[in-house]
Each structure stands twice: as structure tokens, then as C-alpha cells.
Amino acid sequence: MTQLAETLDEAHNRKEEILHAAYELFAEKGLARTTMLAVAQKAKASKETLYSLFVSKEGLFSALIHYRMNQMAELTEEALQGLPPDPRAALEQTAHHVLTTLTMPSTIAVIRIALSESHQSPDLGKAFVEVGVKGVCGMIRPRLNECRRIGLIAYADQDENDLAEMFVAMLCGEWRPLMIIGQMEPPTEAQISARVKRALDILLKRLA
């Protein structure tokens, strides 16, 4: 590894350490009561480093959402490696990983923060929608298109983005709002599998 590569790798690791520290503070105190100084201290970084990387606290939170979405995408793609080239199986497996990630306590904590702060910081709400919601639908959409390609579903008159949003809404159902208000524990693997199968069966019947 060259010196430049080592430097870039160290910078990437440092950024991840700061994002992890920021997440813990945001989850514990909320965005409004978390300062950049507190994040810097927890990450054992200087404020100058923090501001050079993220510009502002809102920028830091936006980067955190991007980081979470990239993690989800990487985990989903890794899980799909080695699957038989069956579009239905790929859609089911993708949906399973998406729902698993969306109902993780760490994801719910980020959603709580975005919802609680979006009225005071519209840019945060916009970042959550642009990166979070659209990012999830972007993982589902190619799988739906493959199912359409082989004639498993048909939706010529329906926008593919709307269809992806509808399917994600079917997956989450009442679970996510209940978890956000603290009225539900994270679902088990069996519950997630059953929810995915039910949503997929409904989708295929509607669009057959």
C-alpha cells in the first residue's frame, strides 16, 4: 500500500469514527442538545477536523444518513451474492434485508432524530427523504423491474418509483411507527420472513 493510500484509508476510518460518535450522541441527546464540541470530544478529534469534514451539525447528520444508507446497500448486495438468478428470489431477499435494516434500533433512532428536528431544520427532513426514503426504494426498484422483465408482474401504467414506495410501505406497515413511539420491540427473524412473504404475495396477486 502506498503512503497516499494509507493516508486516504486513515482519513476514511477517522470519518467513520466521528460518525459513530455522532450517532451515539444524537441517539442519546437528540440533535438540538448535541454540540459539535461534544462530538469532537467523544471522537477524540479537533473541532477543526469536524468542521473541515462536515461544515455544520446539519451536514454531519446528513452524512450520517448517507453512511447508514451506504451500509444498507453494501449489506444487501453482499447478501445477494451467490443467489440463483431468480428475480422473485432476489426481490424477496432484498426485501428481507431492507426490512431487517429499517427495523434495527440504530435505524429507528436515526428516524426519530430526523422526525423530531425536521420542523426546525427543513434541510434535515429533505436529506432524510432524498437519501433515506429514495435510497431504500432505489434498492427495491431494480428487483421489481427484473420481475416485470420476466412477466412475473405487470405495471405499464404505474410509475416504478411509486410502486417501489408502495411495496416498502407494505413491508413496514405499522411496525415502524410503533417502534418509533416505543410501542414495539424489534421483530424477530421469523416475523420479518413472514411479513416479507405476505407483502410479496399481495404484490404479485395485484400485479399479475
The structure's pTM equals: 0.79
- 199/166 Cα distance (integer angstroms): 10
* Same-domain check for residues 91 and 15: no
Direct distance between the N- and C-terminal alpha carbons of the chain, in angstroms, rounded to an integer: 53
Instruction: Give the contacts of 152 (CB within 8 A, at least 6 positions apart).
Output: 87, 88, 204
Give yes or no for a contact between 36 and 99, defined as CB atoms under 8 angstroms apart: no
* Same-domain check for residues 86 and 6: no
Of the residues 31, 55, 79, the one at which a domain ends: 55
Residue 127: band (very low, low, confident or very high) from pLDDT cuts 50, 70, 90: low
* Same-domain check for residues 181 and 141: yes
Residue 25: band (very low, low, confident or very high) from pLDDT cuts 50, 70, 90: very high
Segment 2-18, tens digit of pLDDT: 644 444 467 778 899 99
- The CATH number given to whatever domain includes residue 35 is 1.10.10.60
To which residue does cell 460518525 refer? Answer: 19
The rounded percent of the chain whose pLDDT value lies above 70 is 89
DSSP-assigned letter for residue 31 = S
CA distances, 145 to each of 77, 170, 197 (Å): 17, 18, 18
Angle between helices 36-43 and 57-80 in degrees, nearest 10: 50
Determine how many CB atoms are found less than 10 A away from the CB of residue 188.
9
Give yes or no for a contact between 192 and 99, defined as CB atoms under 8 angstroms apart: yes
Of the residues 55, 73, 94, the one at which a domain ends: 55
| Per-residue burial over 42-78, b = 16 or more CB atoms within 10 Å of its CB, e = otherwise | bbebeeeebeebbeebbebbbbbbbbbbeebbeebee
- The CATH number given to whatever domain includes residue 78 is 1.10.357.10
Give yes or no for a contact between 99 and 196, defined as CB atoms under 8 angstroms apart: yes
Residues spanned by the domain of 7:
1-55
* Same-domain check for residues 48 and 85: no
Nearest to 64 by CA among 105, 109, 99: 109
* Same-domain check for residues 33 and 49: yes
Residue 65: band (very low, low, confident or very high) from pLDDT cuts 50, 70, 90: confident
Nearest to 110 by CA among 163, 66, 169: 66
* Same-domain check for residues 131 and 151: yes
* Same-domain check for residues 51 and 75: no
**pLDDT top residue among 202 and 29:** 202
Phi, psi (degrees; rounded to nearest 5) at 133 = -65, -50
**pLDDT top residue among 1 and 175:** 175
* Same-domain check for residues 75 and 49: no
* Same-domain check for residues 162 and 106: yes
Nearest to 196 by CA among 166, 161, 171: 171
Instruction: Give the contacts of 92 (CB within 8 A, at least 6 positions apart).
Output: 196, 197, 200
The structural domain count of the chain equals 2
**pLDDT top residue among 164 and 12:** 164
* Same-domain check for residues 38 and 139: no
Output the pLDDT for position 9.
62
Segment 32-62, tens digit of pLDDT: 889 999 999 999 999 999 999 998 888 898 8
Output the pLDDT for position 131.
65
Kindly report which listed range (1-15, 64-78, 118-132) carries the lowest average pLDDT score. 1-15
Of the residues 55, 77, 92, the one at which a domain ends: 55
* Same-domain check for residues 42 and 72: no
* Same-domain check for residues 174 and 202: yes
Output the pLDDT for position 115.
79
